Structure 1
Amino acid sequence: MDASLFDLMEENPVIAAVKDEKGLSLCCSSGEIRVVFVLFGDLVGIGGIVDRIKEAGKLAMVHVDLIEGLGSREIAVDFIKTYTKADGIISTRPSLIKRGKELGLYTTLRIFLLDSMSLGNVERQLASARPDMLEILPGLMPKIIRKVSKMTRVPVIAGGLISDKEDVIGALSAGALAVSSTNPVVWNL
């Protein structure tokens, strides 16, 4: 992983995950936020969303699975690379992560850990996709975060249901490099 992204996350381990215009405006005006996960938008507007984040001096990671009008094929990543200034992508699809790496984008593989079977698949997905980072959802599982952090050298981000300082400290203490949250209160802890 590039040292600059790692450094930004170490400076402030809280990532603003924005799901609407209100969240976008709030995170862009916050001097503390360094990395933004874009969880909304469409084919027409994603370039403008990314531009606003970049103009605010922040790193923009686009969740390609959530952008309306983009499909689930590798060409979606090509679109983000060609038509936006995004620094990286997030996806639940290993094939999109692979394509993002080929194009020189930062990559975050998002995994929902719902049961022992999904936990058992983590190593296989990491070996297949080789992401820069792994985001685990929900992020309120210190025991599982610790287990996954020990199984891989890929930095772990805890996301989903993070709502207060205790959640942030719990995830970071368990081995997560950072946490992502859509809650603006968490962004400013």
Structure 2
Amino acid sequence: MDFMDLLRSYPVIPALRFEGQKKIDLSSIQTGGPCFLLDGNINTIKLILEKIEKHFSTFFLHLDLFSGLSADQDGLIFMKKHFQEINGIISTRSRTISLAKKLGFITIFRIFLLDSESLNTGLKVASQLSPEAIEILPGIIFPFIQKQIPIKNLPPVICGGFIRNREEVKSILQSGATAVSTSSPDLWMRG
């Protein structure tokens, strides 16, 4: 399944945080989709992947949030060699996205929207990087600003942040986003 088909088939992406969590219940998710790994360190990646590998087909690691892994070329080569289960890299840093792309990772460029200038700058950088997707945060505002975003000229848009219920997910997807990422387990449920 190619990346776009994956997002269309699994439009709600679990965004997993393990540090400080006693247990993450994945029993109600639709298996076979992607997930975002949002925290951890070089010593916990294998353990995390072992816990969740049967539930997901595609793993994206937010490299900016993992400790012990450098976002430089050597760090990415190390990841590619030692953590082959990781299919993609999420980052707010253009250099990280560029390096990850060259090494064959699926890349997601994360853009934090503080104002219209951050939107314009983020979209300009994204057009230069050509990531496989753009993640817009906070995703909850997407329906209100989507007219300012040239969705047809962009890779798939994923929205994350402050998405708490199914109505918000529906509104975001109906506004043109391809998928949402969320750490709210209630939204990971099948169907």
Could you tell me how far apart the structure 1 residues matched to 2:61 and 2:151 are?
Answer: 27
- 1:178 maps to 179
Compute the displacement of 1:165 (Å).
0.7
Q: How many residues align?
A: 186
Letter in 2 for 1:150: I
Letter in 2 for 1:49: I
- 2:160 maps to 159
Could you tell me how far apart the structure 2 residues matched to 1:72 and 1:49 are?
Answer: 20
Could you tell me how far apart the structure 1 residues matched to 2:88 and 2:49 are?
Answer: 11
Letter in 1 for 2:55: A
Could you tell me how far apart the structure 1 residues matched to 2:152 and 2:145 are?
Answer: 11
CA 1:32 to 1:102, structure 2 compared with 1: closer, same or farther past 3 Å?
Answer: same
Compute the displacement of 1:108 (Å).
0.4
Q: Secondary structure at the match of 2:127?
A: helix
Under a length normalisation based on structure 1, what TM-score does the superposition of the two structures give? 0.88
Letter in 2 for 1:10: R
- The CA deviation string for residues 67-105 of structure 1, in whole angstroms up to 9 with x for no partner, is 011234233322221211201110001111111111111
- 1:75 maps to 74
Query: Aligned-pair RMSD on alpha carbons?
Result: 2.1
User: Are the counterparts in 1 of residues 109 and 134 from structure 2 also a CA contact under 8 Å?
Assistant: yes
CA 1:12 to 1:156, structure 2 compared with 1: closer, same or farther past 3 Å?
Answer: same
- 1:50 maps to 49
CA 1:80 to 1:56, structure 2 compared with 1: closer, same or farther past 3 Å?
Answer: same
CA 1:4 to 1:151, structure 2 compared with 1: closer, same or farther past 3 Å?
Answer: closer
Could you tell me how far apart the structure 1 residues matched to 2:82 and 2:147 are?
Answer: 38
Could you tell me how far apart the structure 1 residues matched to 2:23 and 2:70 are?
Answer: 23
- 1:86 maps to 86
Gaps of 5+ in 2: none
- 1:12 maps to 10
Give identity over the alignment, percent.
35
- 2:138 maps to 138
Compute the displacement of 1:151 (Å).
6.0
Could you tell me how far apart the structure 1 residues matched to 2:23 and 2:5 are?
Answer: 22
Could you tell me how far apart the structure 2 residues matched to 1:143 and 1:152 are?
Answer: 19
Q: Which has the higher strand share?
A: 2
Under a length normalisation based on structure 2, what TM-score does the superposition of the two structures give? 0.87
User: Are the counterparts in 2 of residues 18 and 24 from structure 1 also a CA contact under 8 Å?
Assistant: no
Compute the displacement of 1:128 (Å).
2.8
Q: Which has the higher helix share?
A: 1
